[in-house]
């Protein structure tokens, strides 16, 4: 509405209807603002939750990386133990043969 239309409405007999329309529009605007603020609050909470989830994934990636190194070290130790035990079994087998041969 233009300024002139507002003045004409206020001067005319329909001023009550005009003010009621303005009150209704103001109430609708307030409701729209409340809806927008609620939506904004929800979006901000969602953003916070996504950031927290991102931090959790970063922490998990670090843990997996650390555990990967630990598993590699365990695997290396198992292989070394197998090699050592294989050599020890060979020596024990040789010792048994020598012991048996020397008894006869």
Total structural domains in the chain? Answer: 1
Question: What would the 3-class secondary structure string for the chain be?
Answer: CCHHHHHHHHHCCCHHHHHHHHHHHHHHHHHHHHHHHHHHHHHHHHHHHHHHHHHHHHHHHHHHHHHHHHHHHHHHHHHHHHHHHHHHHHHHHHHHHHHHHHHC
Enclosing domain of residue 31? 3-103
Give the model's pLDDT for residue 25: 77
pLDDT in tens, 62-81: 998 889 888 999 999 999 99
pLDDT at 91: 82
Dump pLDDT digits (tens) for 80-91. 998 888 888 778
């Amino acid at each position: 509405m233009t300024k002139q239309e507002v003045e004409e409405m206020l001067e005319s007999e329909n001023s009550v209807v005009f003010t009621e329309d303005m009150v209704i529009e103001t109430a609708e605007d307030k409701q729209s603002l409340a809806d927008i603020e609620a939506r904004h609050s929800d979006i901000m909470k969602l953003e916070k939750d996504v950031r927290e989830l991102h931090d959790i994934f970063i922490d998990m990636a670090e843990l997996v990386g650390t555990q990967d190194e630990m598993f590699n070290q365990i695997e290396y130790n198992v292989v070394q133990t197998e090699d050592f035990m294989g050599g020890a079994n060979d020596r024990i087998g040789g010792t048994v043969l020598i012991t048996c041969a020397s008894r006869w």
